[in-house]
Structures are given as C-alpha cells and as structure tokens.
Amino acid sequence: MLEKIKNTASYILDKTGCKPDTGIILGTGLGGVVDDMEIDTTLFYEEIPNFPVSTVDGHHGRLIFGRLGGKDVVAMQGRFHYYEGYDMQEVTFPVRVMKMMGITSLIVSNASGGVNPGFEVGDIMIMNDHINLLPNPLIGRNIDDLGNRIVDMSEPYDPGMIEKAEQVARDNDIKVQKGCYVATSGPTLETPKEYEYFRIIGGDAVGMSTVPEVIVARHMDLPVFAVSVITDLGVPGKIEKISHEDVQRAAEQVKPKLTALIEKLIAAL
C-alpha cells in the first residue's frame, strides 16, 4: 500500500508540476466550487495509477489543481463511497496520496440529511464531531510510516480552522450551524425510525461519506475542516420522499455561500 501511495503521488506531481498546500474533497452536488478556482491542470481519475473511479452522479471524477483564496490547492471533484463496492483503503486512498503530495490541511464537504429539528434545507453545518457507523479504515496492519497504530480522536475537526470559519461566516453574513455528523453505509436513504435513532444517539446530520476520509487524515496528523450542506430533513413532520437528483439540486442552491466560506477560509489559513 505504501508503495502504491508513493507511486501515485509521484506520478501526479511529475504530471502536473503542482505542489498544493490544501486538499479539498467536494461531495454530491458541490463540485461547482471549482468554478471559482484559477485552474492550472486537471487530471481525470482514469488517468491516475491506482486511483479508483467515481460511479455516482454529481461526482465528476477529476483532480483539479490551481489557486483558491490565493493558495495552491488540489480539489477532488468527486469522491468514493463504501456503497460503490470499494473497500475502505480504496475509499481513503486519495487522502493518503494528497498528504504524500505535501498538503498541510484538508477541507471536506458533503450533502447530508438534517436530523436536528433546528435545521432547515440549505443550512451549512460545520462538523465538530462525528459518529462512525462504517467500517473503520484503519482496521488491518498499520503502516508506521503513515501514522500511529492507535489514533487520538478527541478533536477530529481542527478547532483553529473551525474558529476561522465561524469568523469568516460572521464577516460575510453566512448563516452556519455546528453539529455532529453520523456516517452510514448507504446507498439507501434513511427510514423515519433510523432518522429518530440517529438523533437519539447524538447526531445532527446523517450521510454516507466523509468520516473514513477524516479518520485517515487524522491518522496522518493532517488537520481537517468539514462542512455538511443540509439537503433534506429527517425530522418528524418534515420527512418527504427524496431522490439523489433532489439532493443534487438542493446542494447546488448553496454553492455561492459554500464557495465563499471555503475560499475565504483557505485565504485565512
């Protein structure tokens, strides 16, 4: 695995000549954030040795290199999910590659269902904790060159980055929530009782991604900031039938606010 990570990182660096400071993972319907980037180079996942390929609508399957917020960044326009049939090492492989390429911070976004009754569709939730109901990506033999066998998770999301993001939100009149994200396998959306359960155990939003990437980032001592865009509600009396296309449309509506938040956060790092 370590040789694959090194070989893939070397290929990308040689191919692009770019050395990004920040990695960005863009979730369902949120790939449009790259529209504000000053783009240097684009690589399709199919071109990259050892890289998985996105199979979900709304995930374009490209690594995009350029500048955002005045900083050099690499953006994953499309991620990988456990429900696509990938194992956890494949799902999190790009995070390890970006770290090997030299990034010093990771920003992750996703679309999620809100289970906090105070949330509304279109809210941006800054993640300050998570509950992982997926297989842990660190199960198996530890690679000491990547990180310690036992990983502290008392602060999975970087407090300094959260503080900066909240200041950006205040300065730019962007409404943000904060809360705990529950990660499930998918691909089914939740039943009413599942929504109720996730709220009981401490969740504010639920989705099918992000947490494995965060765990692997923390394994490599990489600071993480993550946001969920609330695209539907799992609150009693507000649950409606929803499709993947509905999620994409709801996420697209939030694009200007999310882009502003991410861009100005990167500038402040």
Tens-place pLDDT, residues 161-200: 999 999 999 999 999 999 999 999 999 999 999 999 999 9
pLDDT at 11 over 90: yes
Structural tokens at position 27: 């979730």
Considering the entire predicted model, what is its pTM? 0.94
**Identity of the amino acid at 177:** Q
Reference 62, options 39, 92, 36, 84; nearest CA is 39
Cα–Cα distance for residue pair 35/19, rounded to 1 Å = 20
Average confidence (pLDDT) over 35-58: 86
pLDDT at 207 over 90: yes
Please provide the average confidence, as pLDDT, over all residues in the chain: 93
Average confidence (pLDDT) over 19-34: 84
Predicted confidence at residue 56, as pLDDT, reads 60
Task: Tell me the pairing of strands 105-114 and 71-77.
Answer: unpaired
pLDDT at 55 over 70: no
Confidence class of residue 29 from pLDDT cuts 50, 70 and 90?
low
CATH of the domain at 97: 3.40.50.1580
Instruction: Report the share of the chain in percent with pLDDT over 70.
Output: 96
- For tokens 């009782």, the residue is 193
Predicted confidence at residue 249, as pLDDT, reads 81
Angle at the Cα of 27 from the Cα atoms of 52 and 162, rounded to 5 degrees: 120
pLDDT at 27 over 90: no
pLDDT at 72 over 90: yes
Give residue-wise pLDDT tens across range 229-258: 999 999 998 887 877 787 778 777 888 899
Q: Give the bridge partners for 181, in sequence order.
A: 130, 205
Residue 114 sits at φ, ψ, to 5 deg, of -85, 130
Lowest mean pLDDT among 71-80, 128-137, 167-176, 249-258: 249-258
Predicted confidence at residue 256, as pLDDT, reads 87
Structural domain range at position 60: 2-268
Reference 205, options 176, 166, 245, 232; nearest CA is 232
Predicted confidence at residue 166, as pLDDT, reads 98
pLDDT at 138 over 60: yes
Predicted confidence at residue 255, as pLDDT, reads 85
Tally the domains of the chain: 1
86 with 76: CB under 8 angstroms? no
